[in-house]
Amino acid sequence: MSENQNQPLTTASGIPYYYHEDSQSVGARGPLLLQDFILHEKMAHFNRERIPERVVHAKGSGAFGTFTVTHDITRYTRAKIFNQVGKQTRVFTRFSTVGGEKGSADTERDPRGFAVKFYTEEGNWDLVGNNTPIFFIKDPKKFSDFIHTQKRDPYTNCKSTTMMFDFWSLNPESLHQIMFLFSDRGTPYGYRHMHGFGSHTFSFINDKNERHWVKFHFKSLQGIRNFTLEESVKMKGEDPDFAQRDLLQSIDNKAFPQWALKIQLMTEEQAKSYRYNPFDLTKTWSQKEFPLIDVGVMELNENPRNYFADVEQAAFAPAHVVDGVSYSPDKMLQGRILSYPDAHRYRLGANYEQLPVNRCPYAINNYERDGAMRIDGNGGSSPNYFPNSFDNIKPDPAYQQAPWELDSNVAAHFDRNGEGENDHYSQPGIFYREVLSAEDKQHLVHNFVSAMKGIDGPRKEDIINRQLCHFFRADIGLGMAIAQGLGVNLEQAMPQKHTPQSA
Ligand code: HEM
């Protein structure tokens, strides 16, 4: 139902007009008049309807809701959002696929974005994660190369399994993530039935300025549900917008989806001696050693009134953390801190923070002024420079964080080869043997085999063999099953040093 019932039709400048069936012309059949600026206004606005889609995560769905604190974690963080059990904070959450364009199908095999904006009283906190606790790479320098393999081939303009497996086979650190991706969790049944993860290691700072390293987990209270490969392919044809429709309808029908927020914590001392680099995004922290701690519940209970206004114009940035939450040395997180606001300025413009979905509902005091589409009064007549003698706005030392001890040398490449640093196989092996059920394992093998049959071109054998080596190194049974599924003759395929026995 329109919000403007019984109102006159107007131009964009609010001028009512009387007739809207055809353009002003010289006589009934004559050419059009230049003075019909309404015709021009309509055509010109239409030509400007598209903004750049997100370079990744272009297809998505979002909803507003609330986050409610259920457990006291104030000894770990002074973030105001957590300062009282029962406290509620408004959120906006956007889910997405990664590689597809804005019109692509929701059931593609892909990680799913899981981005949450908490409108806290001390500014907006964006937790911009995925439905996986890990990622394909651990250094931001590889991100654009990796994403190119997930997009279209520059010659065929088609998606290319060859590019994908070429990259993965040349970057063994991606094995852990692709094990997850090619399990049925790579094709979740919409967005309500998947977990979310902050993925990176962040830090919590408490009121004594003590730091803990922290990982965030959102556990779906709807339970995990996935499509099999065949079901996901079928759904692509039946309803490419399955996940959008599912989320929207469940909220319209008041079946509000919920996720329990939990954390894992590690002290700075524990981090120094942990067998893996705790800031390596291709690794998880053992939940036996660092158990999940309950924090609260996120509920999505309000659909946006307009998709473009809120979902398309939403801008999430890992840089946006609030007092009591901070960064870590995770290289990927460090890279993302710069990348997102840059993307937003390109995609939405310099004043994107003022769009309603992005705007902090509490006080904003700074001296940034002007720029295209400034819509918030631009600071009025108050001073536009700092320091000044006229207002009383100043930085507050209470927000200063504990100092952070760092290595003093620029790291040389050989420093990156320490113990545990390049073990890309132990955790994928544990994932295969201990996390997946017998049925999950069968599906994983089936999904890998089906995809890898699509590898072609002059490097086909190299790519397949190189990828098989990674599977063997993670788990011999997994390597054998995929090799058999692909009909690979292992004797011929692998040089002696790569046979399963030596894996
Ligand atoms: C979106 C860059 C890694 C999750 C984006 C966007 C860029 C980007 C430029 C589009 C932003 C926009 O236009 O609004 C990068 C870079 C990465 C990286 C440079 C690595 C160095 C990751 C990782 C995760 C992630 C590791 C998850 C753990 C997301 C999500 C979105 C997104 C969820 C969509 C946010 C939304 O719904 O608007 N990324 N990304 N990205 N990225 Fe990343």
Q: Are residues 261 and 315 in the same domain?
A: yes
Q: Are residues 70 and 43 in the same domain?
A: no
Q: Are residues 90 and 217 in the same domain?
A: yes
Q: Are residues 133 and 249 in the same domain?
A: yes
Q: Are residues 75 and 201 in the same domain?
A: yes
In this structure, what are the phi and psi dihedrals at residue 498, rounded to the nearest 5 degrees? -110, 10
Is there a catalytic annotation at residue 130? yes
Q: Are residues 303 and 447 in the same domain?
A: no
Q: Shortest CA distance to 163 belongs to which of 174, 176, 147?
A: 147
Q: What is the CATH number of the domain that holds 215?
A: 2.40.180.10
Domain boundary among 338, 354, 370: 354
Give the span between the Cα atoms of 455 and 165, in whole angstroms.
8
Is there a catalytic annotation at residue 124? no
| 222 within a domain of the structure (yes/no) | yes
pLDDT of residue 411: 67
SS3 state of residue 201: coil
| 156 within a domain of the structure (yes/no) | no
Ligand 1 atom having least distance to the Cα of 111 = 27
Instruction: Indicate the number of domains in the chain.
Output: 3
Q: Is 119 annotated as a binding residue?
A: no
Low-confidence ranges of the chain (pLDDT < 70): 1-3, 411-419, 494-503
Q: Are residues 253 and 185 in the same domain?
A: yes
Pocket of ligand 1 contains residue 60 by CB under 6 Å? yes
| 499 within a domain of the structure (yes/no) | no
List own/partner pairs for 385-394 with CB under 8 A and 24 or more apart: 393/365
Q: Are residues 84 and 9 in the same domain?
A: no
Q: What domain range is 114 assigned to?
A: 60-138+175-354
Domain boundary among 354, 379, 410: 354
pLDDT of residue 417: 60
Ligand 1 atom having least distance to the Cα of 135 = 26
Q: Are residues 336 and 276 in the same domain?
A: yes
- The number of beta carbons lying within 10 Å of the beta carbon of residue 134 is 23
| 406 within a domain of the structure (yes/no) | no
Q: Are residues 202 and 105 in the same domain?
A: yes
| 487 within a domain of the structure (yes/no) | yes
Domain boundary among 301, 327, 354: 354
| 401 within a domain of the structure (yes/no) | no
Pocket of ligand 1 contains residue 100 by CB under 6 Å? no
| 498 within a domain of the structure (yes/no) | no
Distance 180 CA to ligand 1 centre (A): 18
Give CA angle at 292 (288, 294), nearest 5°: 155
- Residue minimizing CA distance to atom 37 of ligand 1: 94
Pocket of ligand 1 contains residue 321 by CB under 6 Å? no
In this structure, what are the phi and psi dihedrals at residue 181, rounded to the nearest 5 degrees? -65, -35
Q: What is the CATH number of the domain that holds 19?
A: 4.10.91.20
Q: Are residues 228 and 279 in the same domain?
A: yes
Distance 56 CA to ligand 1 centre (A): 7
| pLDDT tens digits for range 476-490 | 999 999 999 999 988
pLDDT of residue 2: 65
Q: Are residues 83 and 212 in the same domain?
A: yes
Pocket of ligand 1 contains residue 96 by CB under 6 Å? yes
Q: DSSP string spanning 62-116?
A: EEEEEEEE-S--TTT---GGGSSTT-EEEEEEEEE-SSS-TTS-TTSSS--EEEE
Q: Indicate which residue of 40, 45, 57, 443 is catalytic.
A: 57
304 CB contacts (<8 Å, ≥6 apart)?
A: 62, 63, 64, 310, 311, 357
Q: Shortest CA distance to 15 belongs to which of 32, 36, 35, 38?
A: 38
Pocket of ligand 1 contains residue 374 by CB under 6 Å? no
| 385 within a domain of the structure (yes/no) | no
Give the span between the Cα atoms of 418 and 500, in whole angstroms.
25
309 CB contacts (<8 Å, ≥6 apart)?
A: 355, 356, 357
